[in-house]
Amino acid sequence: MNKNKQVGYLGPEGTFSHEAAMIVVNNNTDAIKAYPSILSVFEDLNAGNISTAVVPIENSTEGSVSITLDCLTHFNMKIIKELVLPIRHNLLVQKGRTLDDIKMICSHQQPIAQCRRYINSTGKPTESMASTATAARYVTEISTAAVIGNKSLAEKYNLEILDSDIQDYSNNVTRFVILSKDDNDTTKGENNKTSIIISLCDDKPGGLYEILYEFKKENINLTRIESRPSKEGMGKYLFFIDMEGHRLDSHVSRVLKKVEKKVKIFKILGSYETTTAMGELK
């Protein structure tokens, strides 16, 4: 396969980011390329070394992925699609081990945070590692350790599932975005979203309200509003706004034009279709 046509993702194999990437490429392992960080995914996509990328942007339990938001600000990328992936965590151990044998539970910090109630019920200490796959490799060497991760880790590292569906919330999902340097805004799907970044011109009472009121007048549902420091000093923020509808829809187009005239920074991240991965994932 042409390396420039690959899809980049936050590796290594066996993570939920890997799971999302495999869904995007219909399980074609040659079509994906793992990276050590989200920043490196953006950098290689920007350099043209891969055609698209899939990165996590938000988890329903732990909130937004800050580095993804920062990279969307600084790189000129477009969101061309969204994938919502159900997240099911499991406790994996060496075969034949029981919970009484386990002295420590390890994983990436996100799965640990998403399984706090279960971890507390075990009374076991935790250790954060670079990824769930890194933790799984550790467990293959340390018989008194367990790892929180998805089912594919059990298959890949010959581990046993001791407890399944241990996440705090049964509706735990992670939202991934598929990115490209090309603008795909002219393609409309069945369930469309549009994402923008803005910053206000002045720090004044009601400044954000004036912007949000424009969406209300056009009856546009905002599915997410989040602020991030602009890195320009204390009290300076960027606002990430997701809305239902496509930028080519007349009412969305009208409000975007009005908002652009009222703000200091205005950036359209893309209009795209959103889908949810169904069924039990590995």
pLDDT range class, residue 230, cuts 50, 70, 90: confident
Decide if 71 contacts 93 (C-beta within 8 A): no
Instruction: Examine residue 121 and state whether it is found in any structural domain, yes or no.
Output: yes
**CA-based radius of gyration for the chain:** 21
Q: Do 83 and 216 reside in the same domain of the chain?
A: no
Helical (H) or strand (E) element with 226: strand 222-229
Q: Do 29 and 44 reside in the same domain of the chain?
A: yes
Helical (H) or strand (E) element with 40: helix 38-47
pLDDT range class, residue 237, cuts 50, 70, 90: confident
Torsional class of 233: left (φ above 0), alpha (ψ -120 to 50), beta (otherwise): left
Q: Do 55 and 177 reside in the same domain of the chain?
A: yes
pLDDT in tens, 123-161: 999 999 988 999 999 999 999 999 999 988 998 999 999
Angle in degrees, CA 129, 131, 133, rounded to 5: 115
Neighbour-count burial for 49-73, b at 16+ CB within 10 Å, e otherwise: ebbbbbbbbbbebeebbebbbbbbb
The residue-averaged pLDDT of 23-28 equals 91
For residues 223 and 234, the model is more confident at 223
Exposure of 183 in the CB half-sphere (CA atoms within 13 A): 9
Q: Do 83 and 94 reside in the same domain of the chain?
A: no
Exposure of 73 in the CB half-sphere (CA atoms within 13 A): 20
Q: Do 30 and 57 reside in the same domain of the chain?
A: yes
CA dist 180 and 55 (Å) reads 11
For residues 138 and 277, the model is more confident at 138
**CATH number of domain containing 61:** 3.40.190.10
The residue-averaged pLDDT of 228-245 equals 83
SS3 66: helix
Lowest-pLDDT range, 1-15, 17-31, 62-76, 143-157? Answer: 1-15
pLDDT, position 53: 97
Q: Look-up: residue for tokens 């980049």?
A: 8
pLDDT, position 58: 92
pLDDT range class, residue 281, cuts 50, 70, 90: very low
pLDDT range class, residue 14, cuts 50, 70, 90: confident
Structure tokens at 57: 């942007």
Neighbour-count burial for 112-140, b at 16+ CB within 10 Å, e otherwise: bbbbeebbeebebebeebebbbbbbbbbe
Cβ-based neighbour number of residue 195 at 10 Å = 23
Instruction: Examine residue 279 and state whether it is found in any structural domain, yes or no.
Output: no
Q: Do 19 and 38 reside in the same domain of the chain?
A: yes
Amino acid at 133: A
Decide if 272 contacts 80 (C-beta within 8 A): yes
Residue-range definition of the domain harbouring residue 258: 192-272
The residue-averaged pLDDT of 63-70 equals 92
Instruction: Examine residue 280 and state whether it is found in any structural domain, yes or no.
Output: no
The residue-averaged pLDDT of 210-239 equals 87
Cβ-based neighbour number of residue 40 at 10 Å = 14
For residues 260 and 232, the model is more confident at 260
Q: What is the pTM of this model?
A: 0.85
Q: With a cut of 60, say whether residue 119 has pLDDT above it.
A: yes
The residue-averaged pLDDT of 96-108 equals 96
